[in-house]
Structure 1
Amino acid sequence: MSTMVFYNGPIYTLDPEQPVVRALAIRHGRIIALGSEGRVQASVAGQRGETINLRGRALVPGLTDAHVHIIQQGLTLREVNLAGITSLKDAQRLIAERAATLPPDAWLRGSGWNHLAWGQSWPTRADLDAVCPDRPVVLTRKDGHSLWVNSRALALAGVTATTPHPEGGQIQRNRNGEPTGILIETAMELVRAVVPPLSEEERLDALRAALREALSYGLTSVHVVPGPNHATGPEVLRDLQTLRARGELSLRALVYFAPPDLEGVIHMGLRSGFGDPWLRLGGLKLFADGSLGSESAEMLSHYEGRRHVGIATIEPEVLDATIRYANSHGICVAVHAIGDAANRKVLQALEHALADREALGEAAPPLALPNRIEHVQVIHPKDLPRLAELGVIASMQPIHCTSDIEAAEALWGARCAYAYAWRSILESGATLAFGSDAPVESMNPWLGIHAAVTRQRPNGWPEEGWYAEQCLSVEEALRAYCCGPALASGEAQCKGQLQIGALADFTVLTGDPFRSKPYELHALTAAMTIVGGKVQFE
């Protein structure tokens, strides 16, 4: 493999010892030199290779999406995508258009709908029956925690007025007790159980599409997590291995698994961190509650104007026992927790697991990856210090903040003061690892960086930023997409910062994030993405 030299920077390393250099050299997939142009050129003199003139464009470490549903993201390009649709009428039009293109016996699938953008009233099966009465329709809400289905899908699943609510879920009903067509949390499985599974090639095509998109933004790694109620299971790891065997895995992946796979993983003797620099085993993904938009995030007190506190999707005793069991076998956990009550319960369980390991001392199996909480959207101020005290990664998605402003204010009220609290979490000593939650939101990390720095939408609203005291600097936001995920994956020694010996994963940008105006950050993207020393996108 020849040597490549990138010069005429600036090159932002995120290494405090050498934060900005003008050139770097790579060979065999690793960084072998960085510094001034003269010093780097001299260090590789006589070696066969090529030089790439950055022409003043900024180069930064490869970004990581620390929370993505990768197959679902790829599927958004082939199914009905209702993201951004602002009225029920427009949603019905897109559904009808898609239905007209499908074979007679095919299910109509899709995602991205947000009833809060339609006036806050839930849609119904009648709304779907009006435009698609003859084929089953299953549409996932943008947060992945609710399904909207038509009468045909309910009939195929056998869901009627007498069907009981499953534990940890809800079947919405009208005044007559009939299902409305909205299934929340575990109730989604009643219909999903009868939806025909995707074929291997359909999944692989979706993966390829999602990986191409990720590279176009400058992402060089992803942390892949299962969706609610185990949507996408072990086939994700299997499919990524298939792409690897075919030479098509173009970026690095850390893959988390769902509870049904825990015993098998332990029986095989696998532990978190198993694998190689391209494909590694993460840990166990759990769900402690639901979501804001579905009003199923578990809160310490009632939602504003409501008489409920959301849904605990797992009993506290089961949550506690599962985390302790996984950690005792060298398996880290990543626990979805949105509401302040859910975050408190998860922290308590993680504290118990840590105490178990401390009691065992050297007899405890190594935990190569830290435990994480996914989202941490609302955390009570009294619980804030516990993240750092327990060594828990705060895996958050900044784009949720600006996307959720209206819903958060309507449903959480004054609690918004400690929602999406990145500045408070960072100053408490905890580590931030940022991601997208795609396809819930866009996979584009520059939209996330813009949201983290400004707490505004790309149109500049709200003018002063929403709870602007929680804004981050550009460097802090970039670290949360580079260094934080590297810590979360147990790879801080070779990823996140540009240093000699580190993996040659980086991106050349269309602009300079450190010289751009904050309101310009969302427009940045990759001009070139290099993974393992190979140009994967240009």
Structure 2
Amino acid sequence: MRIANARLVGTDGGDPRRGGDGLVDIDIADGMVAAVEPAGAAAPGADPGQVVDAEGRWVIPGLWDWHTHFTQWAKTLGRLDLIDARSADEAMAMLRRHLDERRAAGTLNPDAFVVGMRFRHSLWADDAQPTLAAIDAVSGDQPVALSSADMHCGWINSAAARRLGVSVDGSGLLGELAWFDAYVEFDKAPGAAEETARLVREAEADAARKGVVGIRDYEMADNIASWIGRFADGVDGLRVEAGVYPERLQAAIDDGWHTGDELPGSRGLGHVGAMKMIADGSLNTRSAYCSTPYSGVTPPTCGVLSYTPEQIEDYMRLATEHGFTIACHAIGDEANTIVLDKAAITRARGSIEHAQMLKPADLPRFAELGLVASVQPQHAVDDRDVIGRFWAEPAGIPYAFRSLLDAGATLRLGSDAPVAPLDPWMAISAAVFGTESSAREPFQPEQCIDARTALRASTNIGRDRLRAGDHADLVLLDADPYAAATPEAMRAMPGHVVATMLGGRWTYRA
């Protein structure tokens, strides 16, 4: 196939390196880019019957989301979304409407959990917080479980607590580790597997419409087995790196897996990913592990580690010695220091996920240790008010994107979907503009990065232009993303995706 007359991003009126008008022809063979030449140049082997005229549209490499919980993201397409609730009362009003609609439609199963997503109680007033009485009053005997936006706690009713075999206090909130364990129970209801399969396909199609060709999946599940099964069922719209959690690491080692191994039946699309470890909590639940106490929290707390430093070191060593890279969640500044220390000791390679607050002394250590900073810029936009509330006097730098780059670190952008939507354009916009609206000033403008850097950090090749030898993963756009002068314009870029190609085949065409 040849894609003719495509325009390279960042060219307007001519690029002397690529021809006078900045247009190129891209030849594709066996799922790879065979050549990128000035438009009209002869290329051996081109089949005139397989020419697609891009008509001057812009071409970029296919986009990646470097941190997702893909199954949970898929389920947001079919679950109650509470992101707009500004208080517990508003959340309960939304839940009441949802239950009424489900009853009216005959889809409310009294034996199955009703699951909601993305409430942000860290932004609610002190007198507008979750309570067990409030959720019980709305839901009665119907088991209901609502996940916080960062997925680090849940708000459940008494019926759900009985079903899960857990205890909750008057807040109705279930803390991190208990919530992580509880979450897997929601998929055991009758019909849950079929619903999940349908929503995963919808989520893949949604990703392709945005120009996405690949994800790293850190779902809290047996991701290797899950994706082998999905590829066998014909789910093949994305490249996938399937993460392995510490508790499953030894089993994966015993089964002979290593990071980078191809998943059987994936036709080169699926690979084993990194060992994903959650070292500490989150900002919104005041459990990210920091070197100084949270502001305005009584009794004082610095957050918590999910594993002891010794366990972090042991798991990193086990992973490294058996061919696994790491992807270590660290949000608080002290958690990041500990994780960097243990990576240095074990010579682990891979990424630090989130890296939301960093001590200045730790910034150059990413490059020194060869660790990628895998960050989620939309979190900075979402958390800016929470930062002012709970990290009013931080010992480190929150969301230090520019500082990391200046220190030589490699950035990769993601969403942590469903914490933020799976949408690289949203991540790029947040990284570049530091705000989601032109009506509000940027958050930490000194930490914003340029659009070219942000786009490159949203691809698998770290570039914004294709070369011969790359996978034929690309996106055609009817607008130049580098011309987007406002956050609104950048966030509207999914509407300018004309086509998405994965391995030489179209996964989306407008």
* TM-score for both structures, normalised by structure 1: 0.85
Counterpart of 2:141? 134
Taking the aligned partners of 1:46 and 1:309, their CA distance within structure 2 comes to 62
Counterpart of 1:168? none
**Aligned with residue 502 of structure 1, among 426, 448, 470:** 470
1:255 aligns to what SS in structure 2? strand
Give the aligned residue type for 1:474. Answer: A
Superposed CA offset, 1:312-345 (max 9, x none) = 1111111111111111111111111111011011
**Aligned with residue 532 of structure 1, among 495, 503, 509:** 503
Q: CA deviation at 1:497?
A: 4.8
Give the gaps of 5 or more residues in structure 1.
Answer: 161-170, 172-177, 358-369, 488-494
Q: CA deviation at 1:277?
A: 3.2
Paired residues for 1:311-322 under 5 Å: 311-322=304-315
Worse-matched range after superposition: 188-197 or 207-216: 188-197
Contact 1:409 1:416 in 2 (8 A): no
Taking the aligned partners of 2:239 and 2:326, their CA distance within structure 1 comes to 20
Contact 1:11 1:58 in 2 (8 A): yes
1:75 aligns with 2:54: no
Give the aligned residue type for 1:447. Answer: M
Contact 1:10 1:56 in 2 (8 A): no
Taking the aligned partners of 1:70 and 1:432, their CA distance within structure 2 comes to 21
Taking the aligned partners of 1:250 and 1:305, their CA distance within structure 2 comes to 46
Counterpart of 1:364? none
In structure 2, relative to structure 1, the CA distance for the partners of 1:247 and 1:382 (3 Å cut) is same
In structure 2, relative to structure 1, the CA distance for the partners of 1:191 and 1:60 (3 Å cut) is closer
Q: CA deviation at 1:311?
A: 1.5
Counterpart of 1:164? none
Q: CA deviation at 1:471?
A: 1.0
Q: CA deviation at 1:88?
A: 2.6
Counterpart of 2:105? none
1:288 aligns with 2:279: yes
1:420 aligns with 2:399: yes
Paired residues for 1:133-532 under 5 Å: 133-160=140-167, 178-189=169-180, 191-192=182-183, 195=186, 197=188, 199-226=192-219, 231=220, 233-234=221-222, 236-275=223-262, 277-306=268-297, 307-354=300-347, 370-415=349-394, 418-457=397-436, 459-463=437-441, 465-482=442-459, 485-486=460-461, 497-519=465-487, 520-525=489-494, 526-532=497-503
Superposed CA offset, 1:116-152 (max 9, x none) = 3432553111111111011111111010100100111
Taking the aligned partners of 2:141 and 2:394, their CA distance within structure 1 comes to 45
Contact 1:153 1:191 in 2 (8 A): no
Give the aligned residue type for 1:103. Answer: N
Contact 1:510 1:524 in 2 (8 A): no
In structure 2, relative to structure 1, the CA distance for the partners of 1:384 and 1:413 (3 Å cut) is same
In structure 2, relative to structure 1, the CA distance for the partners of 1:479 and 1:194 (3 Å cut) is closer
1:517 aligns to what SS in structure 2? coil
1:478 aligns to what SS in structure 2? helix
Superposed CA offset, 1:167-217 (max 9, x none) = xxxx6xxxxxx4421112112256447545264323322211211111111
Contact 2:122 2:285 in 1 (8 A): no
Give the aligned residue type for 1:460. Answer: S
Contact 1:417 1:467 in 2 (8 A): no
Taking the aligned partners of 2:256 and 2:217, their CA distance within structure 1 comes to 21
1:248 aligns to what SS in structure 2? coil
In structure 2, relative to structure 1, the CA distance for the partners of 1:134 and 1:125 (3 Å cut) is same
Superposed CA offset, 1:64-119 (max 9, x none) = 00001111111011111112332333321221233231122221112111113432
1:413 aligns to what SS in structure 2? coil
2:352 aligns to what SS in structure 1? strand
1:36 aligns with 2:7: no
Contact 2:473 2:504 in 1 (8 A): yes
Q: CA deviation at 1:504?
A: 0.5
In structure 2, relative to structure 1, the CA distance for the partners of 1:193 and 1:248 (3 Å cut) is closer
Give the aligned residue type for 2:287. Answer: S
Counterpart of 1:65? 65
Contact 1:185 1:313 in 2 (8 A): no
CA RMSD of aligned residues (A): 2.4
Superposed CA offset, 1:341-370 (max 9, x none) = 11011001101101xx8xxxxxxxxxxxx4
Contact 2:319 2:326 in 1 (8 A): yes
Counterpart of 2:51? 51
In structure 2, relative to structure 1, the CA distance for the partners of 1:271 and 1:496 (3 Å cut) is farther
Give the aligned residue type for 1:127. Answer: A
* TM-score for both structures, normalised by structure 2: 0.90
- The alignment of Structure 1 onto Structure 2 pairs a total of residues equal to 486
Superposed CA offset, 1:16-64 (max 9, x none) = x87965321212211112121121xx11566243333323321111010
